[in-house]
């Protein structure tokens, strides 16, 4: 469920860099108290299901800023 929400959020904000904090708020909610690296873990899950299967980098990391789908 979180993977889908994360992918949906990235697609709804196509071509916009979303920070980890923004993704945490939009996908996990304001009251999430865990580690921010959970976003990285779920991005990895999505990449293994999307990017790796099609041999194309769809989800990109913008170093120091966040993630984007172009």
Segment 43-67, tens digit of pLDDT: 999 999 988 788 888 999 999 999 9
Look at residues 39, 42, 44, 34 and name the one whose alpha carbon lies nearest to residue 18.
39
Q: What is the pLDDT of residue 66?
A: 96
From residue 40, give the alpha-carbon distance in Å to each of 16, 58.
17, 15
User: By three-state DSSP, how is residue 55 classified?
Assistant: coil
Provide the CA 44 distance to its chain's centre, in angstroms: 9
Sorting pLDDT into bands at 50, 70 and 90, what band is 27?
Answer: very high
- Report pTM: 0.86
């Amino acid at each position: 469920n979180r993977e889908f929400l994360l992918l949906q959020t990235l697609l709804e904000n196509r071509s916009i860099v979303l920070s980890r904090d923004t993704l945490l708020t939009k996908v996990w909610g304001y009251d999430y108290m865990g580690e921010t690296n959970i976003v990285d873990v779920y991005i990895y899950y999505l990449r293994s299901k999307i990017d790796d299967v099609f041999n194309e980098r769809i989800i990109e990391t913008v170093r120091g800023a966040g993630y984007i789908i172009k």
